Amino acid sequence: MALFMLACFDKPNSLDLRMATREAHLAYVRENVAVVKLAGPMLDETDAMAGSLFILDVADLAAAEAFNAADPYQMAGVFGRIEARGFRASIGSI
């Protein structure tokens, strides 16, 4: 297994859709707690949720992308831009 970072940026004006989909998204993340090492919302300048950040422990980049594809936020169209990259923890613990 390897660590990957997913930075998922919300589409403009999608906060209502995010909130309507939030419980399904949280349930999905809880179902995948074995691979989700760290997760939480990214915030805009007003502290409103504007995206999601994940650190995943998965086999490869394709598995990280598959995790994102099945996320209810992604399926509902909340995310406008996704960045997926390998990640190496240098300080702290995951």
- Taking only the tens place, the pLDDT of each residue in 4-32 is 999 999 999 999 999 999 999 999 999 99
Superfamily of domain 2-86: Dimeric alpha+beta barrel (3.30.70.1060)
Give the pLDDT of residue 16.
96
- The residues spanned by each domain of the chain are 2-86
The pLDDT-based confidence of 67 (bands split at 50, 70, 90) is: very high
Digit-coded pLDDT (tens) for 27-65: 999 999 999 999 999 999 999 999 999 999 999 999 999
* 8 A C-beta contact, residue 83 and residue 21: no
Q: What is the pLDDT of residue 94?
A: 77
- Using CA atoms, how far apart are residues 82 and 61, in angstroms rounded to an integer? 13
